[in-house]
Amino acid sequence: MAKIHDNPTRTEWVKQIAGLTTVAKAHAFLTEFRAKHMSPFKTDWSLELDGLWIECKIEEQLALLKHKEFNDTQFLNNCTCGQNAQKVADETVAKMAACKDMYEAERIHINFRLACKPPVMPVNVFMDTDRLLGTKLMELRNTDYYALPLEELRKVRGVKVITLQ
């Protein structure tokens, strides 16, 4: 009997995910998937209904491989790309601290989440870094973020309005 969430798209992705047998492969696969399908800057909208489910399954596979391949020290201190998590976090926080433009700050924060969201980066490092980045972003946005008229805000943010006929 088919499960309610089974569909051909998910079945195809599950097959691809099953082929991920190392942390390095799974890391590269997840990073590419997030950039292409989950980012506000994404280039492919074909997975609107299944994207979050597929991302979850890739993350699950990466977490299992990470548990299998990493020792305790690596597990708590390294990203799945092999870099020291605190070093990556510190570099991102420094970049954000130097940022003076709220739109660039948004991009820094979004890219950090896409590149480092667990299981890529250990949760203990990710959460604190995400808090620091979000705090700086809110400070840059200040209280006048929505003071611009809608059309001006769209122009500043480079929004393309799509209308359905």
Whether residue 152 lies inside any domain: the answer is: yes
Beta-bridged to residue 78, according to DSSP, are 84
Residues 55 and 128 in one domain: no
What is Dmax (Cα atoms) for the chain?
Answer: 56
Residues 105 and 54 in one domain: no
Cα separation, 133 vs 110, in Å, equals 10
Beta-bridged to residue 84, according to DSSP, are 78
- In this predicted structure, the answer to whether residue 8 has a pLDDT above a threshold of 70 is yes
Cα separation, 25 vs 65, in Å, equals 10
When divided into structural domains, the chain yields a total of 2
Task: Quickly list H helices, 8-157.
Answer: 8-18, 23-33, 51-69, 72-77, 85-98, 102-116, 123-141, 150-157
Question: What is residue 157's predicted lDDT score, i.e. its pLDDT?
Answer: 78
First-to-last C-alpha distance (Å) of the chain: 40
Whether residue 101 lies inside any domain: the answer is: yes
Whether residue 47 lies inside any domain: the answer is: yes
- In this predicted structure, the answer to whether residue 51 has a pLDDT above a threshold of 60 is yes
- In the numeric block, the tokens 């088919």 are attached to 2
Q: 17: which 2 tokens?
A: 């995910």
pLDDT in tens, 108-139: 999 999 999 999 999 999 999 999 999 999 98
Mean pLDDT across 31-51: 91
Whether residue 18 lies inside any domain: the answer is: yes
Which CATH number fits the domain that encloses residue 8? 1.20.1280.10
* Domain coverage including residue 53: 1-69
